[in-house]
Amino acid sequence: MGAEVVGLSGASALALVLMTLGAIAMPPLAKRIAIPVAVAEIIFGFAIGGSGFNVAGDPNNPFIRFLSDLGFAFFLFLAGLEIDFKGIEQRLGELVLPFVTSSLAFVLSISFSLQVGWGVWPGIAIGATSVPLLLAVVREMQLNSSPLGQTMIAFAAMGELITILVLSLVEVHTVAAGDTSKMIFGLFLLFSLVITAIVGTSLLRTLMWWFPQYFTQLTAHDDPTEIGIRVGFAMMFFFIGMSILTHTEPFLGAFIAGAILSFTIRNKGALEHKLASMAYGFFVPIFFIHVGMRLDLSLDMLRRNGKEIILALLVMLSVKLIPGILLRLQKMSWPAIIATSSLLAAPLTLVIAIMELGVKHGAVTPEMSATIVCAGIAASLVFPSVARKLLRNEDIPTPARGQQTAHH
């Protein structure tokens, strides 16, 4: 136990106190100044970190790093859990266009990134799509049940799935380092993990058929044993362990675990709420604050990379807007297309996750990572504001109060 006690002493204890206070203080502050909570948490981390006032000590302390990694795993677990498979199945025929546009966005972003010498990983980050920010704006504008809102959510969900797929393949390629046999073996291990997930899903669906009362208990609001939370944790750590055993990235295991739970339990409202409350209440904020603590945002760095940050910001929007022109096939108006593309171009959380992995594998320098994260922060501040303004001017029918989708 000696290492753990040392890890919790001195500066690391102060860092933990500061990070916890930041996790409490940032949500109301972010709401007050109208910025995403994740951005506020990153800025707070920057302020207490080495590039700021340097009061939090070593950001690579083992205990702090463990909490941050756990927050990262929770974030990707919830990214999988948030996928609405029920809605996807109901709109299966409508997912061809989201698949095409999301794939085209990656072709454009990776091609551009390679052309300017940034490499593949920044290209993935620039072309990434995630659900949370878009979903938050859709709910805020009360578009959940409108055709436009459903279309936007479908595009975000498909984009997130493709992002994870592309990221997994590039991660295997990066680890192989040009060795064809290692590449084939890595793809085999990745395929094995997916097969394990499919078998696990089938098993859970069978158990759900034979023991429906047990699965009802998983999603109960008032279960004193909180068996649903226990199962969620168990699945996340099981697939993280499977990922490590198959030499694939643990983030993929966490995402798969959430996706399996989402696919198996369709009426997951209470369970998702409990898991999200625990994750977003502490672990995920610790991850974002830790990202901020390790960011190099000195004036010198901004001077050196200011043009690249602006360029990355513009490319983030362009690679979503160019394929977004295809939305005219669904008779979507130009303001709605620009609003949708703007929201899809602000995947801050996945940008951070991708850059974290790129730095870990030595495929991205910390300075390049900071440049892309800065562009992601700017995108999450600017693009949603543009989208809100455009959507307010759109004549979009909204459902009656009783018909609106519940906010969870």
Query: By percentage, how much of the chain surpasses pLDDT 90?
Result: 29
Could you tell me the pLDDT band of residue 106, with boundaries at 50, 70 and 90? very high
Q: What's the whole-number mean pLDDT along residues 246-253?
A: 78
Q: Sign of torsion, CA 367 302 34 42?
A: positive
**Out of 67-81, 99-113, 207-221, 390-404, which region has the weakest mean confidence (pLDDT)?**
390-404
Residue holding tokens 């996807």?
88
Report how far residue 397's alpha carbon sits from residue 148's, in angstroms, rounded to the nearest whole number: 9
| Number of structural domains found in the chain | 1
Q: What is the three-class DSSP state of 186?
A: helix
Q: Is the pLDDT of residue 147 over 60?
A: yes
Position 136 in a domain: yes
Position 142 in a domain: yes
**Residue 194, pLDDT score:** 83
Q: What is the three-class DSSP state of 13?
A: helix
Question: Would you list the DSSP string of 202-264?
Answer: HHHHHHHHH-HHHHHHHT-TT-TT-HHHHHHHHHHHHHHHHHHHTTS-HHHHHHHHHHHHHHH
Report how far residue 225's alpha carbon sits from residue 205's, in angstroms, rounded to the nearest whole number: 22
Q: What's the whole-number mean pLDDT along residues 260-273?
A: 79
Mean pLDDT of the chain: 84
For 6-16, how does the pLDDT look when each residue is reduced to its tens digit (9 = 90+)?
455 566 788 88
H or E stretch including 330?
none
Q: 179: domain CATH number? A: 1.20.1530.20
Position 336 in a domain: yes
Which is more confident, 86 or 358? 358
Position 27 in a domain: no
Q: Is the pLDDT of residue 403 over 60?
A: no
Question: Would you list the DSSP string of 276-329?
Answer: HHHIIIIIHHHHHHHHHHT----HHHHHHHHHHHHHHHHHHHHHHHHHHGGGGG
Q: Is the pLDDT of residue 406 over 50?
A: no
For 312-363, how does the pLDDT look when each residue is reduced to its tens digit (9 = 90+)?
999 999 999 999 999 988 888 999 999 999 999 988 878 988 998 899 889 9
Q: Which residues contact 86 (CB under 8 A, 6 or more apart)?
A: 266
**Residue 404, pLDDT score:** 39
Boundaries of domain holding 259: 81-282+306-395
**Could you tell me if 262 and 85 are in contact, meaning their C-beta atoms sit under 8 angstroms apart?**
yes
**Residue 2, pLDDT score:** 42
Position 35 in a domain: no
**Residue 92, pLDDT score:** 67
Report how far residue 133's alpha carbon sits from residue 360's, in angstroms, rounded to the nearest whole number: 26
Rg of the chain over all Cα atoms, to the nearest angstrom: 21
The helix-helix angle for 269-278 and 227-245 (nearest 10°) equals 70
Position 3 in a domain: no
Position 327 in a domain: yes
**Residue 205, pLDDT score:** 76
Within 10 Å of residue 361's Cβ, how many Cβ atoms? 15
Which is more confident, 146 or 407? 146
Position 213 in a domain: yes
Instruction: Show the beta-strand stretches assigned E in 99-157.
Output: none
Q: Is the pLDDT of residue 219 over 80?
A: no
H or E stretch including 85?
helix 85-90
Which is more confident, 117 or 11? 117
Q: What's the whole-number mean pLDDT along residues 393-403?
A: 50
Report how far residue 337's alpha carbon sits from residue 345's, in angstroms, rounded to the nearest whole number: 12
Could you tell me the pLDDT band of residue 143, with boundaries at 50, 70 and 90? confident
